[in-house]
Amino acid sequence: GLGHSCGIITPNSPTVELNTEFTATCILFDHCKLQFKTSFAKDIYWKFKQYRVPREQYKRINDSAVSVTVNYTSELENPLTCNVLLYSQLEQNIYGVFIKSGFSPEKPSNLTCILYQDKMELSDSISCSWTSGRLTLMPTNYTLKAQTSFQAFQNQTNSNSCELKMVTVPIFTNMKFWVEAKNELGTAVSDVVVSDPLHLVKPSPPVIKKFIAENDFPNYLMIQWEHPLPSYIMLFKYNIRYRPEDTDVWTEIPENDTSSYIQTFSLQDLFPDTKYGVSVRCMNSEGKGYWSDWSKEAFQITPEAKPSKKLDIWRVIGPADTSGKRIIEAVWKALPHFSANGVIKVYNVQVESLKTKDFFSYNVTNTTERLHLSEKEPYRITIVAYNSKGKSPDARIVIPESNNNTESSPVESIVPYSLDGQMHVKWKANTARVTYFVVDWCVVSEKGCSLVSWQYENKSSLQTILKGDFKPGIRYRISVCPVYKEISKPCFSEEQYFQENCPKVGPSIIKSKREKNSVELEWELISVDKLNGFIKNYTVFYKAAEENEKSITVGPHDRKVTLNSLSSNTMYIIHVMASTYAGGTNGSQFTFTTLKYAPGEIEAIVVPVCLCFIFIVVIGMLFCFNKREMIKKHVWPQVPDPWNSTIANWLPNSPSESNVSPKEPVCPEGSITNFSVIEIGLCDSKSFTDEYNKDSLKKGKYTSDEHSSGIGGSSCMSSPRQSVSDSDEGDSAQTTSSTVQYSTVVPSNYRGQGHLPSSTVFSRSESTQPLLDSEERPEEQHSYGNINTENGEHLPQSIDQDTRKQKGSYFKRPKPINEDSLLKLHQIEIAGQSSDSFKFCSTEDGGLPSSNDSDILHVDSSTSPGMHMDLESSEKMSYMPQLSGYRPQ
Amino acid sequence: MLLARTFSLYVKEAQLLCHAQKKKTTKSPTVSSPLTHSIFLLLLFFPSTAFMCLLTILDFARINASDLCRSSAGTQSKNLANLLKSEAETLVRTYIEAQGEGFPQSSSECKEEVSGFPVGDITARESPEMLQSIYFTLKSIDRHFKTILQQLSDLGFPATDPLQMKLKVAQERVLHLAANIKCMLTVPPPEVKIPPSVTIRGIYKQKKYGCTVLRKYSEFLTQVVRGLSHQTGTKLKKRYIHSHHARLQRLP
């Protein structure tokens, strides 16, 4: 309790049984009554730790005593306190107690006692144990008591087992045993057990003294042991067990055979040459008490005996070679230990030709023998096993001659299947001429089929479970072979998996044939070693970028597939999945791109285009041929021969015809400076009229910028020619040969070699080159009479054209030409020049001006030094002869 | 030593008294008033040493041996007699060997006058008489054993000495056999006061006494074994046993 001076709780140190009612009373001491006045009974409250007990459970005994009654459970926590609330707010503890709680002990039950053996005597103590029952949750003592006719023993513990120590354990007299359980809440006594302690003995295991074999008795071993205790203390019955050393399965001798008080026993029906282990245990012969532990195991080997069973033999017949001999592989199983009855030292193989009766025999040590035997003869193979004690029964098989292989098998069908972790085979057969069946199985691989095992089945069985270690994912070829009178008949085989798995590898695409919208794929066959199951189907998955994957499934025997409806010129990723019943395995990915054009599509386009082109060319050629005169007229116009010029004849000092080359200047420069010659005949009225008309009609063309200047070619199709022809149609009569068909206005101070005069002088140029320099130096263009141009490239030509047409665009082609501007130009450039003279004659034809204008056209060198210089320089040019052809004009 | 002997005597007496009381008053585990007087006397004179013994005595006083009687008492008696007989020969040999030089090496030379052993062949007697004779003889043997143990102790043999140990074991088993025989008796044997052993002066004589007791003990056991072997199971089923059985079966 808590030390407080104002009151006390009774009981002071309570021990309460859980789940029972508990009452405590708080008594206020007299000297505190004044302190609490009369409020004690009213203001008192009980608490279990922090839990306040409801007031309904209080009972007021008097002004200074209040009790509380609760159903005490384990949820109520210590301490129980009695408190008072002073002035309705101040908690005042009066007293507190700690309650011990738990359960009273239950009656101990299942009291069992054991008297152990100690060496060759009984122990001097008895051990007992019992079941305590429910947990008491508080200290509980258990007193084990025992009593004889004149002695009493006891020992105490708080667990459920105990030991009673004695000077000597009484035997052949009865003792009483019981247990008393006691704690603060009560006492419980177990039932009394009355027993002779000898009936509680657990003896020590017997000690095996001998475990011996007798040489002539291969199935017999004798065991001898010692009794654990003298017979005057206890008689025993025994229990014997034995096992072959390599197994954990014990065989127990029936208890009836060993219930007597014996010390030896003979184990019989044992396997020869087998190591056996044996152990013995014992207990009171009356069956009261406990079995001892098994004795330490003793081992002994039974003597050998001759093999008791014939060998399981079979054969694998190979193909015959060129010499007509077959490879017959005779195989047999080593005898199991329990049949071999000893160590097999050698196998004797006997081969006998049933036709010629040839016979040979030899010994081998392994379990297979390869024989080269003629396919024309039947042979009997006999194999026996030898150990130190003798030989096994003969095992025989007859290999028929090979032409017998054509005979039909009595087996009609077989169905191998796996079930419950075993491989089963069912077959249908005509068993009339069958002695027994041999079911063999081999593993199918790329290299062939290697025999795994075989087993014999009698003729009546049409199904069996194959006794072998079948592995998943391996293909087995299971054959049922009937044997009739030792002659093996043709077998019937089926392939089967014990358990299918997914293929180890997926198919790899080995060929593809791409089209514009399809592809033909071919994949390689998966090796049987990697199949792991029968192929159920192949699934081809293909996917283009940014498209969903599609698939197509084909049968197990297909190795090709054509994927249609593909997009052209698209890359596809493909893989093929081979599926067995266990699942599928994907092969490696294959990427290809469909063709952009289908085969022949390009040809279909190119050929017509070429044909069209050829057609157009041919048409053009025909046109040209038909219009050759006109073309010739345009391309190679009639050039007046200066030689035939009348001026030659007209001039008095004209050189003779033979002395004057047409290339040479017709006349010396100085000789013509003083003349103005007008050849009317070459510029007759008709020509002028035509040219004029044409020129008038072509005005629009001149405004176009399509006709750039260029070197005149000979082709009628050439653009420069076109340009020229377009612009110079009216000038054809005056045009010189192809090398001189361009007329160019050349400023006298070309390339700045001279200073232009303020009034620009135009002169005919014989150059066939476009005036590119002027393009490169547009700044010089300003020097051409301050002509403002937007495109210097056309400047020379424009000038030329203007010079020739007189109504040109003035270097700015898009700008429409008007006569005012032309007039202004003339006013600027050529003072006093008549505009009329330009209306019907090009600049080239300037040599054919009206007579009254000749002086004006021919600029006097005195007034035009630049021009003069130009003329001088032109004399040195290689094409001067051409120029000179004009000059006379 | 005197105290121990006195205490031992009281214990024995207490047992006998208790047994007699129980026979009269069913199975009430109460202490009879004469025994209580004795205890009080003991406590009065030897308060310090007797306290532990008191507990034992109280325990003994509570023992109701009749509860322990079963139909197997005959077999148990025979087997126990066999055991004692086999051990008795060893005991005699051990005793003689322990007496040192000068002591006869054959028990046949131990021919002291020892009381309490039956005269003649007990197997010739009728079964109840034989059993009663066996019972009383066993009681006498117990007393002789106590004397021998005392003598050995006086001679300085340690408590853990093999001879002492064997004697103690034999003494306990003799009492167990007596209890078994008692269970076999049709009529409870009369509580006869076994006279104390005569005080023997002289160590050699004491040795001769011990040797004679053990020899006679062994010879007696031979008779007992033979006598009990003749007992048939039906003969052993006495009313006494039946009555106890019936009482046990009535127990909850």
Task: Considering only the beta carbons, identify the residue of B63, B79, B179 that sits closest to A152.
Answer: B63
| Whether A173 and B180 lie within 8 Å, measured CB to CB | yes
Residue A717 burial (CB < 10 Å; 0-12/13-18/19+)? Answer: exposed
CB within 8 Å of A518: residues ≥ 6 apart: A562, A563, A564, A565, A566, A594
Q: Which of A197-211, A653-667, B110-124 has the lowest mean pLDDT?
A: A653-667
Task: Considering only the beta carbons, identify the residue of A152, A172, A173 that sits closest to B59.
Answer: A152
DSSP bridge partners of A144 = A155, A179
User: 């050699």: which residue's tokens?
Assistant: B204
Higher pLDDT, A726 or A456: A456
Task: Considering only the beta carbons, identify the residue of A154, A173, A192 that sits closest to B176.
Answer: A173
Residue A642 burial (CB < 10 Å; 0-12/13-18/19+)? Answer: buried
Residue A297 confidence (pLDDT): 95
> Comparing C-alpha atoms, which of B161, B181, B157, B180 is closest to residue B169?
B161
Residue B142 in contact with residue B171, Cβ under 8 Å? Answer: yes
Segment A312-325 shows an average pLDDT of 86
A176 contacts in chain B (CB < 8 Å): 67-68
Q: How far apart are CA B222 and CA B121, in angstroms?
A: 10
| Whether B60 and A167 lie within 8 Å, measured CB to CB | no
| Whether B68 and A149 lie within 8 Å, measured CB to CB | yes
* Number of inter-chain CB pairs under 8 A, A vs B: 80
> Comparing C-alpha atoms, which of A701, A705, A724 is closest to residue A713?
A724
- Listing DSSP states for A760-782 in one string gives ----EE---S--HHHHH-HHHHT
Which amino acid, residue A382?
A: T
Q: Which chain A residue lies closest to B178 (C-alpha atoms)?
A: A149
Does residue A100 register a pLDDT over 50? yes
* Helix (H/G/I), strand (E/B), else coil: A358: coil
Which 3-state string (H, E, C) describes A376-426? CCCEEEEEEEEECCEECCCEEEEECCHHHHHCCCCEEEEEEEEECCEEEEE
What Cα–Cα distance (Å) separates residue A101 from each residue in A106, A158, A365? Answer: 15, 17, 83
The model's pLDDT over B43-90, given as tens digits with 9 standing for 90+, comes to 444 443 333 333 333 344 445 666 788 888 888 899 899 899 989 988
Element (H, E) at A578: strand A571-580
B69 contacts in chain A (CB < 8 Å): 174
The model's pLDDT over A290-309, given as tens digits with 9 standing for 90+, comes to 999 999 999 999 999 999 99
B168 contacts in chain A (CB < 8 Å): 167-168
Two structure tokens written together for B185: 């008796």
CB within 8 Å of A361: residues ≥ 6 apart: A348, A349, A350, A351
B185 contacts in chain A (CB < 8 Å): none
DSSP bridge partners of A129 = A112, A161
Render the burial of B122-161: b for 16+ CB within 10 Å, e for the rest: bbebebeebbbbbbbbbbbbbbbbbbbbbbbeeeebeeee
Residue A45 in contact with residue A53, Cβ under 8 Å? Answer: yes
The model's pLDDT over A490-540, given as tens digits with 9 standing for 90+, comes to 889 999 999 999 999 999 988 888 888 889 999 988 989 899 999 999 999
Higher pLDDT, A755 or A327: A327
- Range among A81-95, A435-449, B4-18 rated most confident: A435-449
CA A172 to chain B, closest CA, distance in angstroms equals 4
Q: Which chain A residue lies closest to B179 (C-alpha atoms)?
A: A149
* Helix (H/G/I), strand (E/B), else coil: A554: strand
Task: Considering only the beta carbons, identify the residue of A147, A196, A232 that sits closest to B76.
Answer: A196
Residue B247 confidence (pLDDT): 42
Pick from A120, A174, A286 the residue to mutate for testing the B interface (most B CBs within 10 Å).
A174
B67 contacts in chain A (CB < 8 Å): 176, 192, 194
The model's pLDDT over A179-221, given as tens digits with 9 standing for 90+, comes to 999 999 999 999 999 999 999 999 999 999 999 998 889 999 9
CA A198 to chain B, closest CA, distance in angstroms equals 10
Q: Which of A39-53, A363-377, A849-863, B152-166 has the lowest mean pLDDT?
A: A849-863
CA B67 to chain A, closest CA, distance in angstroms equals 8
| Whether A174 and B80 lie within 8 Å, measured CB to CB | no
In this prediction the ipTM stands at 0.72
| Whether A168 and B80 lie within 8 Å, measured CB to CB | no
CA B201 to chain A, closest CA, distance in angstroms equals 30
Tabulate helix, strand, coil % of chain A (nearest 5).
Answer: 20, 35, 40
DSSP H helical segments within A679-767, as ranges?
685-697, 699-703, 719-728
Q: How far apart are CA A212 and CA A325, in angstroms?
A: 55
Residue A403 confidence (pLDDT): 67
CB within 8 Å of A194: residues ≥ 6 apart: A174, A175, A176, A177, B67, B68, B70, B248
Residue A407 confidence (pLDDT): 72
Q: How far apart are CA A587 and CA A531, in angstroms?
A: 12
B175 band by pLDDT with thresholds 50, 70 and 90: very high
| Whether A148 and B179 lie within 8 Å, measured CB to CB | yes
Residues on B contacting A at a C-beta cutoff of 8 Å: 15, 56, 59-60, 62-63, 65, 67-70, 72, 76-77, 79-80, 82-83, 85-86, 165, 168-169, 172-173, 175-180, 182, 248
Q: Which of A156-165, A439-448, A594-603 has the lowest mean pLDDT?
A: A594-603
Residue A169 in contact with residue A122, Cβ under 8 Å? Answer: yes
Handedness of CA B229, B235, B239, B245 (dihedral sign): positive
Phi and psi, residue A740, nearest 5° = -130, 20
Segment B114-128 shows an average pLDDT of 84
Q: What is the end-to-end Cα distance of chain B in Å, rounded?
A: 45
Residue A676 burial (CB < 10 Å; 0-12/13-18/19+)? Answer: middle
Residue A501 in contact with residue A473, Cβ under 8 Å? Answer: yes
A648 band by pLDDT with thresholds 50, 70 and 90: low
DSSP H helical segments within B63-126, as ranges?
73-98
Residue A739 confidence (pLDDT): 42
Q: How far apart are CA A678 and CA A700, in angstroms?
A: 30
| Whether B72 and A196 lie within 8 Å, measured CB to CB | yes
Render the burial of A127-136: b for 16+ CB within 10 Å, e for the rest: bbbbebbeeb
Does residue A746 register a pLDDT over 70? no
Residue A352 confidence (pLDDT): 93
Residue A646 burial (CB < 10 Å; 0-12/13-18/19+)? Answer: exposed
The model's pLDDT over A142-164, given as tens digits with 9 standing for 90+, comes to 999 999 888 899 999 999 999 99
| Whether B76 and A170 lie within 8 Å, measured CB to CB | no
Q: How far apart are CA A885 and CA A647, in angstroms?
A: 12
A192 contacts in chain B (CB < 8 Å): 67
Residue A180 confidence (pLDDT): 95
Residue A819 burial (CB < 10 Å; 0-12/13-18/19+)? Answer: exposed
Q: How far apart are CA A171 and CA A195, in angstroms?
A: 10
Return the percentage of chain A with pLDDT > 90, whole number: 38
DSSP bridge partners of B187 = none
A230 contacts in chain B (CB < 8 Å): 86
Segment B115-126 shows an average pLDDT of 85
| Whether A168 and B77 lie within 8 Å, measured CB to CB | no
A351 band by pLDDT with thresholds 50, 70 and 90: very high
* Helix (H/G/I), strand (E/B), else coil: A489: coil
Q: How far apart are CA A557 and CA B52, in angstroms?
A: 102
Q: In what order do the strands lie in the sheet with A560-563?
A: A509-514, A519-523, A560-563
pTM of the model: 0.55
